[in-house]
Amino acid sequence: MKENSANQIKDVMWTFLMDKGQKENILALKEAVYDLIYLTTRKSGAYQKGKNYQVNWEDLDMVMMEIVIEATSLVLSERLDELEEREGENSD
């Protein structure tokens, strides 16, 4: 596994990129992934979800960026490592 180069930086400004520097938000990640799926599979590119919530085709870049940010947070929070370890235990 690659080392996180941000862990070596002594500047507080970069703590958000260090291991354990983020808190995961699995619900936000799942929601963004489903928004991406829905956006890319709809012919109109826009839909109503709930009363005041709308995602338009123009929001695609932001939805993808949210996925990247939330996936990064999941990795840095080390929760993904826990899942990996459990997966390894179950495959024995």
How confident is the model over 10-35, as pLDDT tens digits? 888 888 888 888 899 999 999 999 98
Q: Is 53 left (phi over 0), alpha (psi -120 to 50) or beta?
A: beta
Q: What is the pLDDT of residue 73?
A: 92
Average pLDDT rounded to a whole number, residues 42-51: 54
**pTM, entire model:** 0.73
| pLDDT of 84 strictly over 80 | yes
* Cα Rg of the chain (Å, integer): 17
Rounded CA gap, 26 and 82, in Å? 14
